[in-house]
Structure 1
Amino acid sequence: MALTGIQIFKLLPKTNCKECGVPTCLAFAMNLASGKAELDSCPYVSEEAKAQLAEASAPPIRPVV
């Protein structure tokens, strides 16, 4: 299930450092949610947050019957 921008924002460091190319972490989260940015653009995101975001963005696995 895709995460919303607000859900992604809660996992980000909230430093507003602008190193990702956008002015705020909230704007970066919205870009991530809409597919306009890559998580690797944020140099300060934790490994735990990366893992949570990767798991949440993985496509659902459907059982084969």
Structure 2
Amino acid sequence: MPQIQFMAFLDPRKKKCCCCDRTMMLTRKINFLDEEGRLVGDLELCSGCADTLAEVLNVGKEVVEKEWVFEQ
């Protein structure tokens, strides 16, 4: 299964964000790895885009609190 790794820069740099295309301080890098752990691609993101992407990726990992069964 492909993996996504979030990494923080020790020294943020001012460049264009790969997601929002604004020139901002880039604080995080995201690496995309294949099933064998080889690097497929990466993105350098500002903190806003990185936080949003991390939130979206964690949506599928939430614990189900109540399961509804509907009769058909």
Shared fold per TM-score greater than 0.5? no
Pick the structure with greater CA Rg.
2
Which structure has the higher relative contact order (CA within 8 Å, separation 6+)?
1
**Bigger helix fraction:** 1
Report which of the two has the higher share of strand.
2
